[in-house]
Amino acid sequence: MKIIVCLKQVPKNDSVLRINEQGTWIQDRDLTYEINESDAYGLEAALQLKEKHGGEVIALSLGPARVQSVIKEALARGADRGIHLEDTAFDNLDAYGIGTAIAAATKAEGFDLLLTGLQSDDYGFAQTGVIAAELLGLPHTTIVMDVELNDAGLRVKRELENGFFQWVNMPAPAVLTIQSGINTLRYATLKGIMAAKKKEIKKLDAATLGIDAASLAPRMEFRRIYLPQKNKQTQFIEGSAGDIAAKLIDKLKNEARVF
């Protein structure tokens, strides 16, 4: 079974974030990065499937040179090889753009299963995997907690609300977006780290993938990003209990507009 896992490099989730001067995103200077949380669980799911059924795990990441560290980490944990989508045309893509690049690269590669995290810790769109699936013309399932192989293809467990789950039978190849926390992440071993140095990381750019600029053009933009405003107010209402109740109702109705 050939599995491709998409790994996004995101700012560490305990980063102290400062807004950039244009007020459109966060400052990227002084940031440190890590593998997007749900993507790491996707990688682990892929490695466990490979251990059970054999095959190959390919770690794919898109971004500048620094994202190689994410691919290397995946190789050290047991992925067989890496694909790095690197091109200045890939800077500042929205979910559609990233989905387009992933679809082009994975189509060329071919696979039985394409895994992404449920959503990224930075933008949180939760769209990239789904868009890639649509562009590839493949079935997809989101918020996946378990994956089993059977003769017909896949049987996957989806998370619903309030502790309910859904089991879905679907054909392969398919795209699954993986929920965080569904398995136990492994440590890279020293052997794994040494072996990773010899594994291949293939670099692909937009031209090689045959992606034109128009298909990467953003369909969405950030107008302004700002810290949540605190506007806590405290008012004291005085008078008899009846007066207070009447005034309170009036304020809730006309000022706070909660009814």
Partner 1 sequence: MENIERDTLEVDVLFVGAGPASLAGALRLRQLIGKHNEEAARTGGRKLDEITIAVIEKGREIGSHMISGAVMDIRPLEELLPNWKELGAPVESEVTVEDVSYLTRRFKIKSPIVPPPLNNHGKYVVSLNKLIRWLGPVVEESDVMLIPEFPAAELLYDGDRVIGVRTGDKGIGKEGEIKDTYSPGADIFAKVTVLGEGSRGSLTKKLVEKFNLDEGKNPQVYAAGVKEIWELPKGRVTPGFVMHTLGYPLPNDTFGGGFIYGMQNDLLDIGLVVGLDYQDPYTDPHRLFQEFKQHPAIAKMLEGGKMLYYGAKTIPEGGLLSQPKYFGDGFLLIGDSASFLNSMKLKGIHMAMKSGMLAAETILEALVADQFDNARMSRFADKVKESYIHKELYEVRNFHQAFRHGRRWGLIESGLQYATKGFGLLGDLKTEAGHENMKKLHVFNRRPNAPGQVPQAEPVKYDNKLTFDKVSDVYRSGTEHDGSAAASQGSGFQHLRRSLHGGIRQSMPVFLSGSRL
Residues touching partner 1, count (CB under 8 A): 40
**Under rule CB under 8 A, residue 29 binds partner 1:** yes
Q: Which residues contact 13 (CB under 8 A, 6 or more apart)?
A: 34, 37, 121
- Interface positions, 98-127, toward partner 1 (CB under 8 A): 118-124, 126
- Interface positions, 123-182, toward partner 1 (CB under 8 A): 123-124, 126, 159, 179-182
Query: Distance between CA atoms of 170 and 166, rounded to whole angstroms?
Result: 13
- Interface positions, 217-256, toward partner 1 (CB under 8 A): 227-228
Piece of 8-16, 132-140, 216-224, 240-248 that binds partner 1 (CB under 8 A)? 8-16
Query: Distance between CA atoms of 52 and 174, rounded to whole angstroms?
Result: 19
Task: Please name which of 160, 100, 109, 123 lies closest in space to residue 38, comparing C-alpha atoms.
Answer: 123
Piece of 22-30, 51-59, 81-89, 167-175 that binds partner 1 (CB under 8 A)? 22-30
Site string for partner 1, 179-198 (x = CB under 8 A): xxxx-xxxxxxxx-xx--x-
Q: Which of 1, 2, 15, 155 binds partner 1 (CB under 8 A)?
A: 15
Cβ atoms 140, 176 nearer than 8 A: yes
Q: Which residues contact 118 (CB under 8 A, 6 or more apart)?
A: 38, 126, 142, 143, 177, 178, 179, 180
**Taking phi first (over 0 means left), then psi (-120 to 50 degrees means alpha), and beta for anything else, what does residue 130 get?**
alpha
Per DSSP, 90 falls in state: G
- Interface positions, 42-71, toward partner 1 (CB under 8 A): none
As measured in angstroms, the least distance from the Cβ of 66 to partner 1 is 9
Binding site for partner 1 (CB under 8 A): 11, 13-18, 26-27, 29-30, 32, 37-38, 118-124, 126, 159, 179-182, 184-191, 193-194, 197, 227-228
